[in-house]
Structure 1
């Protein structure tokens, strides 16, 4: 297994050595301090670098149905789910048996 010193690891990661030292000290980059020197393992640095890769996104798969709909979301209204309107906070409190504070009334002087 290949080990790298601070300068070599900084070149590998395309970072300034001081920045790499700060990240290693903070534990952001996998490293070990042996004596007065930082030691890095090449596979660990490669894994660290890979952690910054963008998450692969699954391409939208368009499937044509019997109706010829070009998008799988075009029939979302028929997919089921609740047809009820959302309940207010007071209705939830009543259903759960929670105590609730009376609502404040606005007082205006005229």
Structure 2
């Protein structure tokens, strides 16, 4: 990329942040760490990961901030049910028919 952005996959980004890929996936899914899933794989910008680390630095010598996941948020990735590990279930056929106002067999 000509703009100087270096992209990292899930494992590379996890190594950069010194955390497990599973924890990184959870934080990315919850929106705590910036990441995208343009296809089936997570992609992270190195600059965003560095910004995330900078945000954890404490001010005035205080203890480091915690970034624990407070609550489960739905993942908005295109393929989370199969590879992201988020709790999303696809609608049933009757739900689709109802939403699309399709005729149903009685």
TM-score tier by shorter-chain length is: 0.5 to 0.7
Normalised TM-score (structure 1): 0.50
Aligned to 1:108: none
1:4 counterpart SS class: strand
1:35 aligns with 2:39: yes
**Following superposition, which runs of at least 4 residues in structure 1 exceed 2 angstroms of deviation?**
none
Whole-Å separation in 2 of the counterparts to 1:56 and 1:36: 41
Decide which structure has greater helix share.
2
Aligned to 1:26: 30
Whole-Å separation in 2 of the counterparts to 1:56 and 1:34: 39
Question: Which of 1 and 2 has greater Rg?
Answer: 1
**Runs of 5+ in structure 2 lacking a partner?**
62-106
**Runs of 5+ in structure 1 lacking a partner?**
58-110
2:51 counterpart SS class: helix
Offset of residue 18 of structure 1: 0.4
Whole-Å separation in 2 of the counterparts to 1:41 and 1:56: 28
- Aligned pair count? 57
Whole-Å separation in 2 of the counterparts to 1:33 and 1:25: 10
Superposed CA RMSD? 0.9
Offset of residue 34 of structure 1: 1.3
